[in-house]
Amino acid sequence: MSAALFGFLKRHKLKHIVTLCFEEYLGLLVRYIPGYEGMLFRWLLCKVTFKKIGSKSLIWPNVYMTHTYNIIAGDCIAINVGAHIDGRGGIEIGSHTLIGPNVFIGSSNHSLSLRGDEVRLFQGHTLKPVKIGSNVWIGANCVICPGVSIGDNTIIGAGSVVTKDVPDSVIAFGVPAAVQNK
């Protein structure tokens, strides 16, 4: 356990560790508060921990976010129930974007080394930023993989797994997500 803790402390800046503590402890307190009060408290927590978040955003109950110090979000975004967002590698979310229930957005992955001489837990992460444009709708139960860019005015259909970039003003869905003809 001490090796894992030492490795964690070695890889993170003090500011990031403090932010992670805020996310865990304050997040636990405000994550499940219902109603407008809960949305206000969750937005205030994001205001403190995000790199930047705009005004008038709605964060529904049971949204789990980690490494928020690398998340930039525009105005009037809505993140629905059960979403999980990992900002370790950097996430940018444009204004007026809707993120459906149970969506996962990840910006990091475990290193893909096949060496057997080192425990996978200690091999580190590959960080790849995610960029989500403005006026985007990501349907329920989607997975947005690290390194993906989603263009403005785009719709990602429910249950999709986005593994590569999606251009502006299209509808994409499926596993893996593909752009559909209009």
Fold of the domain built from segment(s) 2-177: UDP N-Acetylglucosamine Acyltransferase; domain 1 (2.160.10)
Q: Spell out where the chain has E strands.
A: 52-53, 58-59, 64-66, 71-73, 78-79, 84-86, 91-93, 98-99, 104-106, 108-110, 125-127, 130-132, 137-138, 143-144, 149-150, 155-156, 161-162, 171-173, 178-179
Give the active site residues: 110
Higher pLDDT, 137 or 113: 137
Q: At residue 74, does pLDDT exceed 80?
A: yes
Average pLDDT value for residue range 17-27: 77
Residue 6 pLDDT: 63
* pTM of the predicted structure, to 2 decimals: 0.86
Whole-number percent of the chain with pLDDT over 90: 60
Average pLDDT value for residue range 12-28: 76
Q: Place 182 in a pLDDT band, splitting at 50, 70 and 90.
A: low
Q: Are 27 and 64 in contact (CB under 8 A)?
A: yes
- Residues listed for the chain: 182
The rounded distance, in Å, linking the Cα atoms of 55 and 40 is 11
Q: At residue 1, does pLDDT exceed 60?
A: no
